[in-house]
Structure formats: C-alpha cells, structure tokens
C-alpha cells in the first residue's frame, strides 16, 4: 500500500481501478522537410480542422447544459487563432524547414513557459491550455485519435497532466476521479473537476512509472490523499464513507435553496469563505447567501510580486457580480505568520504570529494598502461590497485605516475614477478587540469573529503546532464567553455580527442563542449548516 499526499481540488471521495493517461504520443520527432510552403499548408489545414473539432465540442457541451465547459473551449478556440502563436509556428517551419508537428510542439512549449513565468496566477494556469491546444493540433496533423477510455468500468484517471479539452471529452460516466502530477487548483481542469463534481487531486510526488492500469486505488479529497492498493480493512472503511457521502449529499442538495431559519422562524445568514473567484462559483452552487470572508491574501501568495490594482479589481468585481445584491465581505491583506510572500521582505521574527502581520503590515506599508483599497473602492460599484480589516486591537488602528481610505477616496475623486465607499467592518480575533468591542462597535458597521486566531491568542496556543493540538480547544468556555460578549456589544451598537472562523461550522444552536447574525463556512458546508439550522426548534 502506498499513501501519497497531495492537494485536493475538492473534498470528494472515490475508489476503484486506476487507468493511466499518457501524453507521450504528443512528442513529435524533429523532421526536416523539403517543401516548407507545403508544410505550412498542412499546418493551416490542421488549424481549420482543430477549430472545427473544438467548435463541435463546444456545441455538444452547450447542448448538454455544460456552460462552463463550453466557455473554456471557446477560450481555446480564441487562443488557437492567436496571431502571434500562428506566425511563430509558420516562421519556424519556413526558417528551420522543420515539420509542422515539431514546430507546433516547440512553439506551444515556449508559450506555455511564458505563461508559467507570468505574475498573474490566472495567466499561469493558461499554460495548460496552450499545451492542450498544441497537442490537439499535433494529433490532427498526425491523424492520431485522442485518448479514449476503451473501458466499460469506471476508472480513476491518472495522468502527468490533463488538458481541459481532454477532460470535457472524456465520458463523465466512466470517470471516478482525476489524479494528476502537475496542475494547480486554478487550472481549467481543476475548475472543470469542481463543476463536474468529480473528485480530483494533484499529487506531485506520485511515481507514475510504478503505477499500472487496474491497480486498485482510493482518492480521498477530505484528507488530500491518494492510496494505491489499499488493504481490505481500509477498503471496507472507505466503502462505508463513500456510501455515507452519497446519501448525505443527496439529502443536503435539498437544502440548497431553502431559507436559513429555525422551525420557529429565527433567521441567520449562511455565507461562504473563499480564497479566489473559482471558490465563489462553488459558493453560489452550494446555495451560499453571500461571501462572509474573501481571504484576499490568497491573491498575494505564491508569486514574485504583489497583484496589481487592476488584477485585484477584476477579482473583486467578478465575485461581486456573481453575488449581485448579496453581501461580499473582502478581508484586506492578512499576510504574515503562516501566510508568506517573499517579495514583501518581511523581517525574520521570533514569534511571527505575534509579529508584523495583517493590518500591521498595511499600516506600515501604506502604498501596498492603498493599491488594495483603490481596487476595492472601484470594485464596490459592482455589488454589495463589505470590506473587513483583520487583527484589529485598538480604536486608533480604525482611525488610521479610515485616514488611508479617505486619502484613496480623494485620489479617486481627483482622477475622476468611479468608486463607492464600501460598508466597513473589522475582524474580532484578538482578546483586545473582544474587550474593546463595545467601543469598537461604535466605529464600524459590522463585526466578524475569527475564532481561529481568537482561540490561538486567548489560549496562548500556536494554531500551527501539531504537538499541542490536544490543548487547542475552540470550545473553551473563555472563547464562548467572548463570542457572547461580542454579540451583545455589537447589537447594543446596532451592528451585525458574524463568525468566519472554523468554529462557525460547529455549535450552531449555541450561536443562534447568542444572536449571531451570520455564519461563514467553507462552500461545501453551507447546506450542512442550513440543515442544522432548519432542524432547530
């Protein structure tokens, strides 16, 4: 038995025989041609055929109601017609006198590398699309059929990489799960796996050579693990989990569009926590009543420089447009401690969780903060934006934040840029903020309690440390008492209060009693909490 750890694209489970999907047939030989013009003609004909294939694929997806898949294929058709890409290929054929499939392969790879090197994560993920298109053209040139599942059994598809056009073409009914070595959770294949509801993992450590068709496997999206040849005991246990997941999902689906209210009619808003635009789509699909926490720092992590104002504006706007009138709470950059971005050159600290993080970074590096605020104020025009500031410990910080917001507003007015001042609130995640909550409530429009950090700072327990896990108790009476106090103080000042830490998935009845107005949880937990609420007297 081998147990690989990976990145879960969703939290779904699957079990069955694996089947390997190989992209090796796409590596063409470098052949020299005599007649370059003829070769360019062949290439142009291949582009036309590829376009037809993709357009047909797009039509089928639209007819089947798979709008998201159809949109992705449409983007591929546009990329296929990209002038730079086509010219680079034809130039290479005529100058190097190489066969068209080799030129497509080389140019495709260099475009993919160029996308990969870009700052923008969305553009990085497009690298898989350009490779996918190039492979498809090469198949057409060489008259090779694409991968097909000549299998009646359902399989766990294992691949080095999987292109989106392959993904949509696969018989959905034959696929139990996707496991790829390469990929990101922003790739189109990941987006499709989410929208198709197919379990998917990215497992970088996987040794593809040691895997063979027919090997039995478990895809565990809840624990991000891929298990090869599990023992009987594990199979039995997993069988039970799969059955339970199926039954549970069917039942939870029925709660998607129901109101979040108790039997006696007490209402609460159930929102979702997200880290990117794709998560927001999952939140809509799961019946979320808004976004309770958009962890904007995920736009800043895993790259070489901070996202530009424009890039951020587009991301916030996209989420706001998805939710219309419903509230979208974007938390300003909460980087530091476990969330790192090397380009910020933050100091090495003895106790990073107690160091330069969250709002402290923004108030120290005002330019960085202003870029984000500008993007937020501009995006606010497109929906019901709420902006939330993390790690607050004092009134002065709120005053300082408002001064920066005011500066940004003046700059936007001077530049005649359209903007709106969003609803502004704070996270309550430090004991100081709890104790000051009566005063702080008079300065802001809402509170959202971050129970993860509140537990860490109140119990003096590092939330990252596995060794002291047993002591980390978010149900500690001190925490519950703090939540109650914060709710009372919020309501006294006439503002709403939510919970966006992980404890929001728990103790629903207690929080309703405290008068908590909103719970924000991972998208997949929205219907689960709604069911709990609707079953409370």
Catalytic residue IDs: 188, 500
Q: How far is the CB of 52 from ligand PEP (least distance, A)?
A: 47
Q: How far is the CB of 534 from Mg ion (least distance, A)?
A: 29
Q: Which of the stretches 49-57, 117-125, 234-242, 448-456 binds ligand PEP when contact is defined by CB under 6 A?
A: 448-456
501 binding partner (options Mg ion, ligand PEP, none; Cβ < 5 to 8 Å by kind) = ligand PEP
- Tell whether residue 450 is a contact of ligand PEP (CB under 6 A): yes
Site string for ligand PEP, 334-363 (x = CB under 6 A): x-----------------------------
CA dihedral sign, ordered 297, 300, 303, 304: negative
Number of helices (H) and strands (E), helices first, in the chain?
20, 16
Q: Which of the stretches 48-56, 112-120, 417-425, 444-452 binds ligand PEP when contact is defined by CB under 6 A?
A: 444-452
Q: Which is nearer to ligand PEP, 131 or 315 (CB)?
A: 315
Q: Which of the stretches 8-16, 179-187, 367-375, 445-453 binds ligand PEP when contact is defined by CB under 6 A?
A: 445-453
- Tell whether residue 387 is a contact of ligand PEP (CB under 6 A): no
**Count of residues near ligand PEP by CB under 6 A:** 10
What's the token pair of residue 146?
A: 């694409």
In 170-185, which positions are buried (b, 16+ CB within 10 angstroms) versus exposed (e)?
Answer: beeebbbbbbbbbbbb
CA distance 362 to 347: 15
User: 425 with 386: CB under 8 angstroms?
Assistant: yes
Q: How far is the CB of 125 from ligand PEP (least distance, A)?
A: 23
295 binding partner (options ligand PEP, Mg ion, none; Cβ < 5 to 8 Å by kind) = ligand PEP
289 binding partner (options ligand PEP, Mg ion, none; Cβ < 5 to 8 Å by kind) = none
Chain position whose Cβ is nearest to Mg ion: 453
Q: Three-state DSSP class for 332? A: coil
Among 452, 493, 505, 515, binds ligand PEP (CB under 6 A): 452
In 398-437, which positions are buried (b, 16+ CB within 10 angstroms) versus exposed (e)?
Answer: bebbeeebeebbeebeeeeeebbebbbbbbbbbeebbebb
129 binding partner (options Mg ion, ligand PEP, none; Cβ < 5 to 8 Å by kind) = none
What's the token pair of residue 92?
A: 């290479």
Site for Mg ion in 374-433 (CB under 5 A): 429
Q: Where are the beta strands (DSSP E) in 251-406?
A: 269-274, 291-295, 327-331, 384-389
User: 192 with 68: CB under 8 angstroms?
Assistant: yes
Q: Which is nearer to ligand PEP, 107 or 362 (CB)?
A: 362
Q: Which of the stretches 267-275, 277-285, 318-326, 444-452 binds Mg ion when contact is defined by CB under 5 A?
A: 444-452
- Tell whether residue 50 is a contact of ligand PEP (CB under 6 A): no
- Tell whether residue 432 is a contact of ligand PEP (CB under 6 A): no
What are the two backbone dihedrals, phi and then psi, of residue 176, each rounded to the nearest 5 degrees?
Answer: -90, -40
> How many other C-beta atoms lie within 10 A of the C-beta of residue 237?
13
What are the two backbone dihedrals, phi and then psi, of residue 344, each rounded to the nearest 5 degrees?
Answer: -80, -10
- Nearest CA to 262 out of 500, 497, 512 is that of 512
What's the token pair of residue 208?
A: 């593809």
CA dihedral sign, ordered 318, 320, 322, 328: positive
- Tell whether residue 504 is a contact of Mg ion (CB under 5 A): no
CA distance 338 to 352: 8
CA distance 292 to 289: 9
What are the two backbone dihedrals, phi and then psi, of residue 350, each rounded to the nearest 5 degrees?
Answer: -65, -45
Among 453, 462, 517, 518, binds Mg ion (CB under 5 A): 453
- Tell whether residue 462 is a contact of Mg ion (CB under 5 A): no
Q: Which is nearer to Mg ion, 98 or 490 (CB)?
A: 490
Among 352, 474, 498, 501, binds ligand PEP (CB under 6 A): 501
**Count of residues near Mg ion by CB under 5 A:** 3
User: Which positions touch ligand PEP (CB under 6 A)?
Assistant: 293, 295, 334, 429, 450-453, 500-501
Binding positions for Mg ion, rule: CB under 5 A = 429, 450, 453
């Amino acid at each position: 038995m081998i147990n690989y750890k990976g990145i879960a694209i969703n939290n779904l489970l699957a079990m069955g025989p694996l089947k390997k999907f190989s992209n090796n047939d796409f590596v063409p030989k470098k052949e020299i041609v005599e007649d370059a013009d003829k070769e360019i003609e062949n290439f142009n004909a291949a582009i036309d055929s590829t376009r037809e294939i993709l357009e047909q694929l797009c039509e089928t997806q639209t007819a089947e109601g798979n709008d998201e898949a159809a949109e992705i294929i449409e983007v591929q058709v546009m990329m296929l017609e990209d002038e730079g890409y086509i010219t680079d290929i034809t130039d290479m054929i005529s100058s190097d006198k190489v066969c068209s499939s080799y030129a497509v392969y080389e140019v495709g790879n260099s475009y993919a590398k160029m996308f990969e090197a870009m700052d923008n994560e969305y553009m990085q993920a497009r690298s898989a699309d350009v490779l996918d298109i190039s492979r498809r053209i090469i198949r057409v040139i060489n008259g090779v059929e694409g991968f097909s599942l000549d299998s009646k059994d359902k399989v766990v598809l294992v691949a080095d990489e999987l292109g989106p056009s392959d993904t949509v073409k696969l018989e959905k009914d034959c696929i139990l799960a996707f496991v790829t070595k390469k990929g990101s959770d922003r790739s189109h294949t990941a987006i499709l796996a989410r929208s198709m509801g197919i379990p998917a993992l990215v497992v970088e450590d996987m040794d593809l050579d040691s895997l063979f068709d027919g090997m039995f496997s478990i895809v565990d999206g809840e624990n991000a693990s891929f298990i090869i040849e599990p023992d009987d005991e594990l199979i039995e246990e997993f069988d039970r989990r799969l059955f339970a997941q199926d039954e549970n999902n069917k039942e939870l689906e029925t709660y998607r569009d129901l109101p979040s209210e108790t039997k006696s009619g007490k209402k609460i808003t159930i929102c979702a926590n997200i880290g990117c635009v794709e998560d927001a789509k999952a939140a809509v699909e799961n019946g979320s009543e808004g976004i309770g926490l958009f962890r904007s720092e995920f736009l800043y992590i895993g790259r070489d420089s901070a996202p530009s104002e424009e890039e951020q504006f587009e991301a916030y706007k996209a989420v706001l447009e998805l939710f219309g009138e419903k509230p979208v709470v974007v938390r300003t950059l909460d980087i530091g401690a476990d969330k790192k971005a090397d380009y910020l050159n933050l100091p090495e600290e003895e106790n990073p969780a107690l160091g330069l993080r969250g709002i402290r970074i923004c108030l120290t590096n005002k330019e960085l903060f202003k870029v984000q605020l500008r993007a937020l104020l501009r995006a606010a025009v497109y929906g019901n934006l709420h902006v939330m500031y993390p790690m607050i410990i004092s009134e002065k910080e709120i005053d300082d934040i408002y001064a920066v917001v005011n500066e940004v507003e003046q700059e936007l007015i001077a530049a005649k840029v359209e903007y709106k001042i969003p609803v502004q609130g704070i996270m309550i995640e430090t004991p100081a903020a709890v104790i000051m909550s009566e005063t702080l409530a008079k300065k802001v429009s809402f509170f959202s309690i971050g129970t993860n950090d509140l537990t860490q700072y109140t119990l003096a327990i590092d939330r990252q440390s596995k060794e002291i896990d047993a002591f980390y108790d978010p149900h500690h009476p001190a925490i519950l008492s703090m939540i109650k106090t914060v709710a009372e103080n919020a309501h006294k000042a006439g503002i709403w209060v939510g919970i966006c830490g992980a404890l929001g998935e728990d103790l629903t009845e207690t929080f309703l009693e405290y008068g908590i107005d909103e719970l924000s949880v991972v998208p997949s937990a929205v219907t689960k909490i709604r069911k709990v609420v609707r079953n409370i007297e």
